[in-house]
Amino acid sequence: MSELKNMARYRRYLIKDENLLVVRGSIGPVIAGLHEYNSRHGIPLPPGELNPLGQELLAATALAAVSLAERESWGWSLTFDGMDLGFFVGIEPEGMICVNVLAARRRKASVMIQRQKAGLPLTQSHISPRSPSPRDMVQQYFSEVDQMRARLDIKENGEGILVHALPGGNFDAVKDLDRDMLFAYLDNALGAGRVAEVGEVLLFYECRCSESMISRMFDNLPEAKRKDLFGNLQSVEVECPRCGRKYRVERRNTTIH
């Protein structure tokens, strides 16, 4: 588990007179946790040119998850137009977040979002991103799928802010603000005492995968499928699709004919 130094603190605020929900925090500690996790498990880091995009992706999806009153499991699977690579981002209710870079099945922009509350069925949505920007992608998701107006921006250092208009909220107060003005808007509201803090969420980099989970996954496959995967091998290497960690699975419970 990531150490406390790699915990990202996201705070939720209510601007009372405008009825706006604001989330603010920095993804920096999660990025540090990603590097530590990948080093620990021998996972190659994404190509350097993907670093800014990956940071923005983690920051934007983290803000989206934290903005909800109830914690949920999130899965974002996406690629942008013309990219050979795609991303998966997973966020768990307890604050665990992970990312993996995968080969894109097609060089066409596509985003699939899966959400699930504890004890409820999984929901799945698709959007066609209008630009290669995770920030715009999240705003588009809230607009098209949740029918909710949102304003989101992220600084180069990973600090991000997201504003939702609650029912009856004055979204016009923020919709045309540039990035610096959006951050200043919250700072000024805090200074004027117009804000109530309504909670915080800690995020950290980790994946829910484990040796026992991967073994159970193989054990639960039909025997014909297991034989197909192993062939004549006594063990196979598999990669967690959520984080890229590799596991060696020994052949057992599989009849060799």
- Domain membership flag for residue 255: no
Residues 178, 226 within the same domain? no
Whether pLDDT at 36 is above 80: yes
pLDDT tens sequence across 39-67: 999 998 877 767 899 999 999 999 999 99
- Domain membership flag for residue 257: no
Beta bridge partners, 125, equal 113
* CATH number of the domain residue 38 falls in: 3.55.30.10
- Domain membership flag for residue 18: yes
- Domain membership flag for residue 256: no
pLDDT of residue 33: 96
The two structure tokens encoding residue 75: 């899965």
Residues 226, 128 within the same domain? no
Residues 149, 186 within the same domain? yes
Residues 153, 238 within the same domain? no
pLDDT of residue 255: 37
Half-sphere exposure of 252 (CA within 13 A, CB side): 7
- Domain membership flag for residue 20: yes
d(CA 149, CA 139): 8
d(CA 181, CA 187): 10
**Predicted TM-score of the model (pTM):** 0.90
Compute how many other C-beta atoms are within 10 angstroms of the C-beta atom of residue 229: 15
Residues 183, 233 within the same domain? no
Residues 199, 230 within the same domain? no
- Domain membership flag for residue 60: yes
Domain range for 189 is: 4-205
- Domain membership flag for residue 52: yes
For the beta sheet containing 8-15, the strands, ordered from the edge strand earlier in sequence to the opposite edge, are 123-127, 110-116, 73-79, 85-91, 96-103, 195-205, 8-15, 20-26, 159-165, 150-154
Residues 112, 231 within the same domain? no
Whether pLDDT at 4 is above 70: no
Residues 185, 243 within the same domain? no
Residues 77, 160 within the same domain? yes
Residues 80, 130 within the same domain? yes
Q: Pick the residue with more confidence: 184 or 105?
A: 184
**Is 30 in contact with 11 (CB distance < 8 Å)?**
no
- Domain membership flag for residue 35: yes
pLDDT tens sequence across 212-248: 888 888 888 888 888 888 888 888 888 999 999 999 8
DSSP tag of 42: T
Whether pLDDT at 2 is above 50: no
pLDDT tens sequence across 183-208: 999 999 999 999 999 999 999 999 99
Q: What percent of the chain has pLDDT over 90?
A: 72
pLDDT of residue 35: 94
Residues 165, 222 within the same domain? no
Q: What is the dihedral of CA 237, 74, 174, 137, to 10 degrees?
A: 50
Structural domain count, the chain: 2
Residues 200, 220 within the same domain? no
